Amino acid sequence: MRAQHLSLAGCLVKLLSMSTGQAGDSAFDEDQESLRARSEQVIGEFAQALLDSQVLEGALAAAFGAREKAVEAQHAAMAALNLPSAGDVERLERRLRSLSQRLEEVEDQVDDLLGELRALRRQSNPKP
């Protein structure tokens, strides 16, 4: 683990120690390009060191574990208080939308039936 800390620190030292020249000269442009290439290499090494870091891996695992425990505790507390979860509310919302759509379909069918009933009444009771 100490070697990983040194590797991360070494990458940062490399990145911070890179020097710059003065603007307006071709050597400066070459230095800038060289600096850019070295910077990209050091940043890549730093990123790889982070990916390989057991400390970072442990911290992420602990954070995700803590998050999961917090979610479980929240669900337990909400259940104890008889409060719906966000998922419960979303399911209820979907069911209400479905019910509303079905009700609209029934209303349309009733309107159609009323129209047909009116037409039948006009046919059976013609006005003189």
Task: Classify residue 59: in a domain, yes or no.
Answer: no
Task: Classify residue 64: in a domain, yes or no.
Answer: no
Task: Classify residue 107: in a domain, yes or no.
Answer: yes
pTM: 0.42
92, burial (CB in 10 Å: exposed 0-12, middle 13-18, buried 19+): exposed
**What was the pLDDT predicted at 55?**
87
**What was the pLDDT predicted at 24?**
56
| pLDDT average, residue stretch 75-94 | 91
Summarised one tens digit per residue, pLDDT across range 12-56 is 666 666 554 455 567 777 788 888 888 899 899 888 888 888 888
**What was the pLDDT predicted at 18?**
56
Looking at the 3D structure of the chain, how many domains does it have? 1
Summarised one tens digit per residue, pLDDT across range 86-117 is 889 999 999 999 999 999 999 999 999 999 99
**What was the pLDDT predicted at 14?**
63
- Domain carrying residue 95: 84-128
- Asked if 50 and 5 count as a contact pair (C-beta separation under 8 A), the reply is no
The one-letter amino acid at 71: V
Got the DSSP string for 53-79?
Answer: -HHHHHHHHHHHHHHHHHHHHHHHHHH
Task: Classify residue 38: in a domain, yes or no.
Answer: no
Task: Classify residue 36: in a domain, yes or no.
Answer: no
